[in-house]
Structure 1
Amino acid sequence: MGESMTWVQAIILGIVQGLTEFLPISSSGHLRIVSEVFFGDDAGASFTAVTQLGTELAVLVYFAKDIGRIVMAWFRGLLNEEHRDLDYRMGWYVIIATIPIGVLGFLFKDQIRTGARNLWLIATMLIVFALVIAAAEHFGKKERPIEKLTTRDGLAMGFAQCLALVPGVSRSGATSSAGLFLGLSREAAVRFSFLLAIPAVTASGLFSLPDAFEPAGEGLNASGAQLLVATVVAFVLGYASIAWLLKFVVNHSLYWFVGYRIILGVGVLALLATGVVSAT
């Protein structure tokens, strides 16, 4: 049985989740790194999944009008072919693109909670995927708006989302990079990335609730109240980070995050190599 999480730890980890969930730098990787480097233990995959509910609620609130419009258009389109517009298709894109991560997330749930949280792997993926994001920025034409999204785009970004099952990759980094490779504009790629994350992350968080409230393994164990507070903190900061990132990508490239990922990854590898922190 692991140690009990303190209130300071819960709040700090909630802040980390809120600030990093929507940036292409891996929130799960950051939670793992921060909890190990500063607290000497792992907050756990369940804590990560549950606090992600806070950031996903931020997406629901921020994109409430868009989501409501898409849902209504999807139902109208099912009943009447004349109403099958972009919003109707967008609904199908999100549904279809969610299937791959749903299947793989279920099949490999045990590995995701254990071996995938090794810091050697996380640090390496921070660096490796930084190069993928850089390549997407360099080679992507960034011409097509979200109105030009196709089924192929949705499927490709859906499969890319599966890479985020490995901490250190980044859900938004994987899906946005796929969008850029396909020629979508940064804003279009990031916006669809947010919408695409909603079903998968919400399902993952709800599925992990029992494990989070009744922890049985090693690592830091949070109480129900601590989980709630951390999730609320993640919601507030997550909402702010969505607004910031959507404005940022209009005039700035993702290269800014590439440099940060490489510096962090190299730093963690150095700490591991010198024995300052443990990989597991």
Structure 2
Amino acid sequence: MDLLQIAALAIVQGLTEFLPISSSAHLILAPLLLDYRDQGLAFDVAVHVGSLLAVVSYFRVEILSMARDFFASLGPKGVSSKSSRMVWMIVLSTLPILFFGKLFMAQVQGDLRSMAVIAAATVVFALPLFWWDRHGAQERDEFSLGWREALIIGLFQALALIPGTSRSGITITAALMLGLTRAAAARFSFLLSIPTILMSGGLVTMELLLGDQGIQGTWGDLLLGAVLAFLSALGCIHLFLRLIERIGMLPFVIYRLLLGTLLFLLIL
């Protein structure tokens, strides 16, 4: 890959992994518009690693607190705290995508990857995001979630198996529906991305190790892709959380509608 392709794909991955605008739609659209060849599984792993390191780095204080309190709560005299309970909420929210991902793996990797499906999902799932951004109570933080609500968010996240849905978009939608503030909904969505990115990156890594296509590109390409994905994702998370209470979801909804329309026009 040339430098422009590496930069474009890595930055697209880093930004769209966390913005509610569908990374799959962009990763399909970018090569079409820029006439790029397939980047290969190794590059996909590299940019996923960069995105994962960005969210872990940004929430490092919260993650350390959650891990410390969680393991302390498992002892004979362990006392549950809001941080230890958050670990369980993230685990519960991750279970549905594990179950449905296994159940519908063939469809997700096959028919659902069509541009028509991605275009439709990009448009359709923008509408509940807009609705709940306008009509959600927005009075709770992420630590107030109970196990039933965590499972509801997890079931919504499973819809992200449909390309074009946007994992962050659908989980933020669910959290807003349950009365979380915009910032709290985004924080929970970003924390929930950690096990999800680990799993998806692990699956891609297994495909790479068990497949026959080998490593495409140099180690320098892969490192550059990971670094650019890390920087773009880190900046994206920081700005999104700072601005989201002020700007709301409308700019992203409008962008999704325009993007879905463009994808439909490319099909025709």
TM score, norm. by length of structure 1: 0.87
User: How many percent identity over aligned positions?
Assistant: 37
2:28 — aligned with what?
Answer: 32
Q: 1:165 and 2:173 equivalent?
A: no
Identify the range of structure 1 (238-247 vs 199-208) with the bigger mean alpha-carbon deviation: 199-208
Q: 1:260 and 2:261 equivalent?
A: no
Identify if the C-alpha distance between structure 1 residues 101 and 69 changes in structure 2 by more than 3 Å, giving closer, same or farther: same
- 2:52 touches 2:198 (CA, 8 Å); kept in 1? yes
1:241 — aligned with what?
Answer: 236
Question: What's the secondary structure of 2:180's corresponding residue?
Answer: coil
Identify if the C-alpha distance between structure 1 residues 266 and 193 changes in structure 2 by more than 3 Å, giving closer, same or farther: same
Question: What's the secondary structure of 2:74's corresponding residue?
Answer: helix
Deviations 1:87-121 (A, max 9, x none): 11101111111111122223333432332221111
Identify if the C-alpha distance between structure 1 residues 246 and 205 changes in structure 2 by more than 3 Å, giving closer, same or farther: same
Which runs of 5 or more structure 2 residues have no equivalent in the other structure?
Answer: none
The amino acid across from 2:248 in the alignment is S
Identify if the C-alpha distance between structure 1 residues 97 and 260 changes in structure 2 by more than 3 Å, giving closer, same or farther: same
- 1:56 touches 1:201 (CA, 8 Å); kept in 2? yes
- 2:122 touches 2:259 (CA, 8 Å); kept in 1? yes
- 1:213 touches 1:222 (CA, 8 Å); kept in 2? no
The amino acid across from 1:125 in the alignment is A
Aligned length: 267
In 2: Cα distance, 1:6 partner to 1:211 partner: 24
- 1:54 touches 1:234 (CA, 8 Å); kept in 2? yes
- 2:5 touches 2:36 (CA, 8 Å); kept in 1? no
Q: 1:176 and 2:172 equivalent?
A: yes
In 2: Cα distance, 1:6 partner to 1:121 partner: 30
| CA shift for structure 1 position 10 | 2.4
2:183 — aligned with what?
Answer: 187
Identify if the C-alpha distance between structure 1 residues 181 and 222 changes in structure 2 by more than 3 Å, giving closer, same or farther: farther
| CA shift for structure 1 position 215 | 6.0
The amino acid across from 2:63 in the alignment is I
In 2: Cα distance, 1:126 partner to 1:222 partner: 31
2:227 — aligned with what?
Answer: 232
Which runs of 5 or more structure 1 residues have no equivalent in the other structure?
Answer: 274-280
TM score, norm. by length of structure 2: 0.91
| CA shift for structure 1 position 222 | 4.7
